[in-house]
Amino acid sequence: MILNSDPVPLSDNFTHPLPSVVNAYKICRKDEERILDNLNDTDGKKNLTTLRKELINIRILGHLLDKAPSATATAHITKTIVSCKSYIERVKAGEFYDQHFLRPFRSNKGRTPSPSHHPSRPSFDYRQAVIKTDMTENRLEYTHPQNHQQAKKSALLRDNFRCMVSGKVDAQSWEADIGSDVTITECAHIFEESTNTNLNDEAKVSAQHYAASVWAVLEAFGYPNILKDLAGSNIHRLDNILTMDLRLHQYFDTLKLWFEGTEIPHCYNVVSTENVVFAMGAHHVVTFQSADEELALPNPTYLHIHAACCKVAHMSGAAGYYELLDGDDEYNSTGAVPADVLTARLHDISISQSHIVDPV
């Protein structure tokens, strides 16, 4: 399924069973109108990049009311909006959810370690037999991986040595001359490794505060157990892991690929903003199955939260803003930086250094 990646204005016809949610949405809609009027005003009273980011922040709040991952999250966002005493407080609230709900699911390009290559690849059957024997002898290590490397190994076994999205075989697990239906896979985390590591490292106070805010948002949205479930090395639990083609992994990590649940357990519609994802071999519908009943499948709740973040990021325009920030990194190595890219980066730095009111 392809989703249009263009920002979506807030609707004049938003409906919800609860009048309080509708009222909160109308407040955001009025804020949106105000910003759009200012954007059309050419007197230069306010920086255009600042206005565009304010528009994104308000749309984050509005679209969260419609696409929040839970009823608890919708209620929390509603309370946040109506408790704000001014338009600028709502802008700051939208910025907070951008920083601590949407962005934690988005990795910088190239962050995921590339897999190492073996000088020779044994046949698939032989490789599978070796790993299964190893699992029999070290079952706890496989069922509760403690690091990235072990999580990759366990997930490969669970997923029958295939990308969960395309079905292509992991090239390192198969003989070299198998043909074209192979790929290099990576270990994809739903909740990023960096979100839940070094929380007790006093030398990283800023990272600790950021991570704590991320988990506080999830708790306020009705997910109080995720922090405990994924604490420390538990971030590598198999229910937080997918085996994925390295190119598809890039799209997953940049919020351009996600999974929407169906009525069938562990069956998902694959959704992307990029046609190329399906040209790369991604299936439109996938059903996750474990080759060993003790190896947990990806957690449907984690995937549901990830999907909500992806949708809000694109509908609000935040995803396009992240691309601008990525552009800053690309231009840093080549010299001149386009004005819109530089302005976005400076705005982002000013936000990260300011004290945003925590609405949680």
Give yes or no for residue 119 having a pLDDT over 90. no
Give yes or no for residue 53 having a pLDDT over 50. yes
Output 339 or 262, whichever has higher pLDDT: 262
Burial class of residue 24 in the structure, from the number of CB atoms within 10 Å of its CB (0-12 exposed, 13-18 middle, 19+ buried): buried
Output 48 or 206, whichever has higher pLDDT: 48
User: pLDDT at position 355, please?
Assistant: 45
User: pLDDT at position 199, please?
Assistant: 46
pTM: 0.83
Length reported for the chain = 360
Q: How far is CA 231 from CA 125, 209, 212, 228, 235, in A?
A: 35, 15, 12, 5, 6
Domain-embedded: residue 103? no
Domain-embedded: residue 32? no
User: pLDDT at position 231, please?
Assistant: 84
Domain-embedded: residue 150? yes
Domain-embedded: residue 253? yes
User: pLDDT at position 264, please?
Assistant: 97
Domain-embedded: residue 134? yes
CA–CA separation, 55 and 122 (whole Å): 55
Domain-embedded: residue 223? yes
What HEC string does the chain produce?
Answer: CECCCCCCCCCCCCCCCCHHHHHHHHHHHHHHHHHHHHHHCCCCCCCHHHHHHHHHHHHHHHHHHHHCCCHHHHHHHHHHHHHCCCHHHHHHHHHHHHHHHHHHHCCCCCCCCCCCCCCCCCCHHHHHHHHHHHHHHCHHHHHCCCCHHHHHHHHHHHCCCECCCCCCEEHHHCCCCCCCCEECEEEEECCCHHHHCCCCCHHHHHHHHHHHHHHHHHHHCCCCCHHHHCCHHHHHCHHHEEEEEHHHHHHHHCCCEEEEECCCCCEEEEEECCCHHHHCCCCCEEECCCCCCCCCCCCHHHHHHHHHHHHHHHHHCHHHHHHHHHHHHHHHCCCCCCHHHHHHHHHHHHHHHCCCCCCC
User: pLDDT at position 175, please?
Assistant: 61
Return the minimum-mean-pLDDT range out of 60-64, 238-242, 245-249, 331-335.
331-335
Q: Averaging pLDDT over each range in 2-6, 316-320, 322-326, which range is the top one?
A: 316-320
Domain-embedded: residue 191? yes
Tally of domains within the chain: 1
CA–CA separation, 69 and 301 (whole Å): 9
pLDDT band at 213; cut points 50, 70, 90: confident
The range of the structural domain enclosing residue 220 comes to 124-199+203-306
Domain-embedded: residue 211? yes
Return the minimum-mean-pLDDT range out of 119-123, 314-318, 344-348.
119-123
The pLDDT tens digits for 134-161 are 656 666 666 778 899 999 999 999 999 9
Q: What percent of the chain has pLDDT over 70?
A: 73
